[in-house]
Structure 1
Amino acid sequence: KNIRILSPLSKTFTEKEVINGLKQRILKLEQQCKEKDGTISKLQTDMKTTNLEEMRIAMETYYEEVHRLQTLLASSETTGKKPLGEKKTGAKRQKKMGSALLSLSRSVQELTEENQSLKEDLDRVLSTSPTISKTQGYVEWSKPRLLRRIVELEKKLSVMESSKSHAAEPVRSHPPACLASSSALHRQPRGDR
């Protein structure tokens, strides 16, 4: 009888241990999720900060250039009257500098828009990609390293495509060189097909 009385009590104790163990595991998982969310938000903030920092540096550069041009203009006005040829040269130079500054401003705007578009495309591709776990490792890579990786993958792709095309085509004794080079020039990336 004593064994029967202890066994329901020990079952209850064992169930409580299991429940407590599961609760602790849930708490650990929640903590890990919070840490990962914190890391993600920090990375997103860092990316925004980097973009803002790049824009700030570009704007400071423009401001310094405008200030330099204004100083140059003021110094040329205070040195007295210049001969007509020098005035025309100065006006032409100022006009060229103004157009160069405007061109640089447009370039910055276009690059900013292109950057935003590429980020949106990247986000869209990453959100629909089944291999998210593989691509997350690329986030921390530098631009030159990513470009090298892209070149490697393009080479692998061209090797795979050429091996497929050689397997599919009948064997020729002398394939024309112009066909091989034109097919390499007009090849499109796989994502566009």
Structure 2
Amino acid sequence: MTAKVIGVVENQAPTRALTAELAVVDGFAQPDEAKGVAQIALVERHRGTGKVVNGFVSGFGYTGRMAIGSTVAHDSHHMIVVGTDAAMMAAAANRLGEIGGGITVWKDGEEIAQVPLPIAGLMSDSPAVEVAAKADRMVAAMAACGCTLNNAYMQHSLLALVVIPELRISDLGLVDVTKFELTGLFE
């Protein structure tokens, strides 16, 4: 099945609108590590609708069973989870709910980094030196999951910024920013 893929460009805010042929298992298109394609899920978190929008993203280089979840997603700040494994993605999303927001990285069934942001899921009430140490562990955890991008977390936090081309994810679906319209996940 041909899926639209958000292509992350290192050190740049714009993404590329890519496509990839993905396998379908039990009616669901699957991420493909060999092609560098991970799944992305955006969970609406402001109105309690329970809405989840799924898509695919490439460019992070993630390998193995992993997920990173965050409630920092400019400008809407919905929850975004990117991963190669559905169970890891669910664990990351659930952990963010438990801690009231922030950032969490999971690998092989274990949480390997966490940055709690209990104030609206965006800010911490902990001392800056503690938050900085946790952020350093988060960056190292992303690298342990195969990511080699410079400033990869910034790339992650911009995936829902629907004013910067080309392809983004929102609580309404995938957005083709160059055409200013929603677009389907599959061709």
Which TM-score bucket, shorter chain as reference? under 0.3
Structure (1/2) with the larger strand percentage: 2
Higher relative contact order (CA 8 A, sep 6+): 2
Q: Find the structure with the greater CA-based Rg.
A: 1
- Using the size of structure 1 for normalisation, the TM-score is 0.19
More helix by share: 1
